[in-house]
Amino acid sequence: MPSATTPAPRRSRGPLGAVVATALLVGLAACSAPSGSSQPATTTGAGTSLGWQDTLTGGSDKLDVATTVAPISSIARNIGGDRIRLRGLIPDATNSHTFEPAPSDARTLANADLIIVNGLHLEQPTLDLAEASKSAAGVIEDLGDSTLTQADWLFDFSFPESAGDPNPHLWMDVQYAIRYADLIRGWFDAADPTNAPAYDADYAAYKVRLDQLDGLIRKGVASVPAQDRKLLTYHDSWAYWAREYGFTVIGAIQASDFSDPSPQEVARLIEQIRAEKVPAVFGSEVFPSPVLEQIARESGATFVDKLRDDEPPGAPLSGEHTYLGMMKNDMTVLVGALGGDPSIFDRLDVTDTWRP
């Protein structure tokens, strides 16, 4: 896997910076969509975002970037800003493990200069289509394999070692999200050196915000009573987060084949929650789980179904519909439900940090 500084093959391009900046200003003044975008016009001020639903054209005026899940798309937008066309292939609130891309996605992938995937078998059908559809100059970059060695892989109930696939949800750990941002910066620099100084500046600004988020999470965790720093979730997407921030994952409901647990497993989880005095169990807005709600009710724990691992909150082009917004939502919900101080996260600005 190439490093973040390995040059990547690319189409021949002219200078992009002045063209992009001028196009953005004209587009905003005329209340029209950004060049190459299929979405309504937005500003870059507080409360709005460019999102990641641009139409990739294969033109030489901007870098065409295809991504998979929303957290990766949001990170890429903060590095690339309006200097790229960005298309997130996997819709929000969709099971990325089983998502089957549409035939029309093949055209998007064929127009992409860079195709950025999480890897670690998170989005295998999408990766298969990318390998079959990309142009000769298109490059696929894998974040997971560029971030972890196999020695750092984590396995758990939803991702058992016997199946061979590690837990792929690295971005929930902000330290890994910083690594993702740095890798993307390097790939953009190599593919579009004319705009490398802008990508580097956008990365630096975004890292300041990510470092702030990381520090607030540590304060939020410290506010939770030590005996309550335990997680029982529906989908086991918190393994790397828990390892980094000092929590224990005591279980997950969804098995590796995405089935519900057996009655025996349900009974065991209820007893475990009672024995460990777990105050709350966490469902998902993406995966409704009556079984987990039943487990919470019978064990005496509070049921909270507001955690997200790949669906930012708010409308798609709103300022809170970002990776930062998703993490702030999760931390406020989680810390508050476990007896900590959720107000610690109130001052975190979750809007995009890139600048024209």
Cα-Cα end-to-end distance for the chain: 31
DSSP-assigned letter for residue 52 = T
Task: Report the SS3 class of residue 88.
Answer: strand
Per-residue pLDDT for the chain (356 aa), expressed as one digit of tens each?
Answer: 333 443 333 444 433 333 333 333 333 333 333 333 333 333 333 578 999 999 999 999 999 999 999 999 999 999 999 999 999 999 987 878 889 999 999 999 999 999 999 999 999 999 999 999 999 999 999 999 999 999 999 998 778 888 888 999 999 999 999 999 999 999 999 999 999 999 999 999 999 999 999 999 999 999 999 999 999 888 788 999 999 999 999 887 766 566 677 888 888 889 989 999 999 999 876 666 788 888 899 999 999 988 899 999 999 999 999 999 999 999 999 999 999 999 999 999 999 999 98
The structure tokens listed for 1 are: 């896997």
- Give the number of other Cβ atoms within 10 Å of residue 90's Cβ: 23
The CA distance from 134 to 124, in Å, is 15
